[in-house]
Amino acid sequence: MELGQLDHEELVVRRGRRTGLYTIVAVHSTVLGPSLGGCRLWRYENSAAAARDALRLSRAMTFKAAAAGLSLGGGKGVICAEPGPPPSGAARSALLHDFADTVNVLDGSYITAEDVGTNARDMAAIATRTSHVSGLGRSRGGSGNPSPFTARGVEAAMRACCERVFGSRHLRGRTVAVVGAGHVGSELAKRLKRAGAKLVLADIDPSKRELARRLEATWADPTAALLADVDVLAPCALGGSIDEVLIPRLRAQIVCGAANNQLAHDGLAADLAARGILFAPDYIVNAGGLINISVEFDSGGYDAAEARRRVDGIEETMRTILDEAAAAGGTPLAAADRLARRNLHPLGG
């Protein structure tokens, strides 16, 4: 993806005064409200690769918020970590404070939250330097860890997909491959186990085998799990795992997971449809965390029960998208894009 291919409002790239490392924020749109998106701490090949990631992810956040009917725009923050283990202690604090400086440059048009490589404790550290932070702990009036809500939304979307493909929304007896057992993937696996699904669990971290044992899941390496003979494939790691090479080899009937930008490019949605595989648009499926955080902005303050109710609405949103795709003869991704654009258009997006 070339940097010039995406239409964004702002891109800020700064070298931190404390660490000398790059911190980046991309603001795709503030048409519906301030842009909100997580802060990703990752090791990139270079700052250009990090900027491309921020640009693509921020665009997805715009569509995610719009499709969910939220008064928020799309943004994304990226911290370029050095090679080696994740920073800790004073070095981590300095890097987070450098990121907070970048957030402050945008003067409220971007609100950050946790994402891959960061957590609620990191958000608290960032909040010592900027007020433009969401997802703080419950003790501070925030919504806390968004992962359980993201997983809840994935399960809701999966029920709608199973209803469409198998004639029943129930997950009992369904086989699901969860690829990526991080914060969201592990929560999703636990939810699916409680729902009675049979699990294949995969992660690059071998310590996740213990989770697989506790859930009575079949352990597999990520490549094998992507190709497993299951009802549902749930990519829950980094994006781009579904490409032209993988699609002809897929054996799942549904792809419905938490990862952002699961397709190497959007045109692959048609390739999946041609194979009879239902692809659930990831920015619809994984909107639960954003919906949860959006409740923080309600006038009455954060209400977990209200957040759960709204996240459960993802099932009906997915059902509507699948209905529209069937009626129009296109892919669910195209139907989701139309929904997002309809919500953006009345305000001039």
Main-chain phi, psi angles of 13, to 5 degrees: -125, 120
Active site residue 193: no
| Torsion angle of C-alpha atoms 98, 104, 108, 114, degrees rounded to 10 | 10
d(C-alpha 269, C-alpha 280), whole Å: 9
Q: Where are the alpha helices (DSSP H) in the chain?
A: 47-67, 89-105, 120-127, 147-166, 183-194, 209-214, 222-226, 268-274, 282-285, 288-294, 304-312, 314-328, 332-344
Residue 339 near residue 67, CB atoms below 8 Å: yes
Three-state DSSP at 10 gives strand
Q: Give the Cβ contact number of residue 47 at 10 Å.
A: 16
Main-chain phi, psi angles of 15, to 5 degrees: -95, 120
Catalytic residue among 76, 193, 198, 208: 76
Q: Which active-site residues does the annotation give?
A: 76
